[in-house]
């Protein structure tokens, strides 16, 4: 079952999957592993519509049944992976294993969370710190903020969403907000986006995540831009609000999920370039390059948004 009410039914199968194995700088060989995975034979809701059809969802959660955990149990990989999502050209980098360059600063995962959750201490808009209650990001047993590459936008509780938008718009009192597609808060604008402030999320261990205007605003028409922030609507089974940082906030950054050491880290990075990974057997360090996907313009995001479904429970996933 998905967050928008769509669902998929099917059966479990066991098969051999083939993966690219880094063997040199921008060179790959082949390796394989045996994986148990679900095969959806019946889809409902948006999953059954042609414009929302996807080939599948590859689960990289922390559970023993996830793709990476199954490969790790066979000694094929370490329980660590990274992605770098290029929101300028499309595509980017995805790698399993230890990333040695660029270096990232890490923040601890919350130990009792089933998700990739971290502790958020503050949000800054430009040079101003939002005044929020101490429990603004407390969602009961699942505290903190979820880092989720399987979600496109950023979902915030009411108590955070409203102050954030108000502070962003404080420097643009001339803008009039309206709703597009019954979901997105938008405005008419033809000036430079860098006139909007940078939004910075502050985490434990002095780790910060800077989200620039082009990473939280998307274009739906030549003169219309919308916020990638969404107002609440996502809750735990206990009714507490969830906070999720999705792809828009994570784009143009190398994000590393180190499950073995229970930390997540990131750094700004040119995702059309490369990263360096370590070969566990030889200790050699190799460069992994980016892969490009067709991406006509920022207007295409309005089509992409129809593909986004949030998993319940919200495990971190990488869509293929």
Indicate if the pLDDT at residue 248 is higher than 70: yes
The reply to whether 75 falls in a domain is yes
Tell me how far apart the alpha carbons of residues 319 and 150 are, in angstroms, rounded to a whole number: 6
- Contact (Cβ atoms closer than 8 angstroms) between residue 212 and residue 126: no
DSSP 139: -
Q: Which residues contact 92 (CB under 8 A, 6 or more apart)?
A: 83, 84, 85, 86, 271, 272, 290, 291
* pTM, two decimal places: 0.86
Sorting pLDDT into bands at 50, 70 and 90, what band is 308? Answer: very low
- Is the bond preceding 102 in cis, omega lying within 30 degrees of 0? yes
Comparing 161 with 7, the larger pLDDT belongs to 161
Comparing 49 with 274, the larger pLDDT belongs to 274
DSSP 3-state percent helix, strand, coil across the chain (nearest 5) = 15, 40, 40
Mean pLDDT of the chain: 85
Sorting pLDDT into bands at 50, 70 and 90, what band is 111? Answer: confident
The reply to whether 191 falls in a domain is yes
- Contact (Cβ atoms closer than 8 angstroms) between residue 216 and residue 199: yes
pLDDT value at residue 314: 28
Kindly state the helix (H) or strand (E) to which residue 167 belongs, with its residue range. Answer: helix 158-169
Highest mean pLDDT, choosing among 98-102, 146-150, 155-159, 229-233: 98-102
pLDDT value at residue 7: 82
The reply to whether 74 falls in a domain is yes
- Find the CATH number of the domain harbouring 142: 2.40.70.10
The reply to whether 2 falls in a domain is no
- The whole domain housing 118 covers 7-319
Sign, Cα dihedral of 311, 316, 78, 63? negative
pLDDT value at residue 57: 80
The reply to whether 14 falls in a domain is yes
Kindly state the helix (H) or strand (E) to which residue 20 belongs, with its residue range. Answer: strand 7-24
Sorting pLDDT into bands at 50, 70 and 90, what band is 94? Answer: very high
Tell me how far apart the alpha carbons of residues 123 and 114 are, in angstroms, rounded to a whole number: 24
Among candidate residues 308, 315, 317, the one with its CA nearest the CA of residue 46: 308
The reply to whether 23 falls in a domain is yes
The reply to whether 1 falls in a domain is no
Domain count, the chain: 1
Kindly state the helix (H) or strand (E) to which residue 301 belongs, with its residue range. Answer: helix 301-304
Kindly state the helix (H) or strand (E) to which residue 259 belongs, with its residue range. Answer: none
Tell me how far apart the alpha carbons of residues 12 and 72 are, in angstroms, rounded to a whole number: 20
pLDDT value at residue 242: 80
Among 195-204, 228-237, 248-257, 269-278, the range scoring the smallest mean pLDDT is 228-237
The reply to whether 283 falls in a domain is yes
Tell me how far apart the alpha carbons of residues 243 and 145 are, in angstroms, rounded to a whole number: 5
């Amino acid at each position: 079952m998905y967050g928008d009410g769509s669902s998929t039914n099917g059966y479990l199968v066991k098969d051999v999957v083939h993966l690219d194995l880094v063997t040199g700088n921008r060179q790959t060989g082949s390796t394989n592993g045996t994986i148990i995975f679900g095969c959806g034979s019946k889809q409902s809701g948006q999953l059954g519509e042609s414009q929302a059809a996807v080939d599948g969802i590859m689960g990289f959660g922390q559970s023993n049944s996830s793709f990476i955990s199954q490969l790790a149990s066979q000694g094929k990989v370490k329980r660590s992976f990274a992605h770098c999502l290029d929101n300028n050209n499309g595509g980017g980098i995805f790698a399993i294993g230890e990333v040695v360059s660029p270096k990232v600063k890490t923040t601890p995962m919350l130990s009792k969370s089933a998700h990739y959750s971290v502790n958020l201490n503050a949000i800054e808009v430009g040079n101003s710190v939002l005044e929020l209650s101490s429990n603004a990001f407390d969602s009961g047993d699942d505290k903190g903020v979820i880092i989720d590459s399987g979600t496109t936008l950023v979902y915030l509780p009411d108590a955070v969403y409203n102050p954030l938008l108000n502070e962003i718009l404080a420097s643009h009192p001339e803008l009039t907000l309206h709703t597009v597609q019954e979901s997105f808060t938008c405005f008419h604008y033809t000036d430079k986006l860098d006139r909007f402030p940078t939004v910075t999320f502050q985490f434990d261990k002095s780790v910060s995540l800077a989200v620039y205007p082009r990473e939280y605003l998307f274009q739906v028409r030549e003169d219309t831009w919308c916020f990638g922030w969404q107002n609440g609507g996502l809750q735990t089974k206990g009714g507490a609000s969830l906070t999720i940082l999705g792809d828009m906030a994570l784009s143009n950054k190398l994000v590393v999920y180190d499950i073995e050491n229970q930390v997540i880290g990131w750094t700004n990075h040119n995702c059309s370039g490369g990263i360096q990974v370590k070969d566990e057997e030889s200790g050699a360090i190799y460069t992994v390059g980016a892969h490009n996907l067709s991406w006509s313009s920022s207007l295409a995001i309005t089509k992409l948004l129809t593909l986004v479904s949030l998993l319940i429970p919200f495990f971190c996933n990488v869509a293929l």
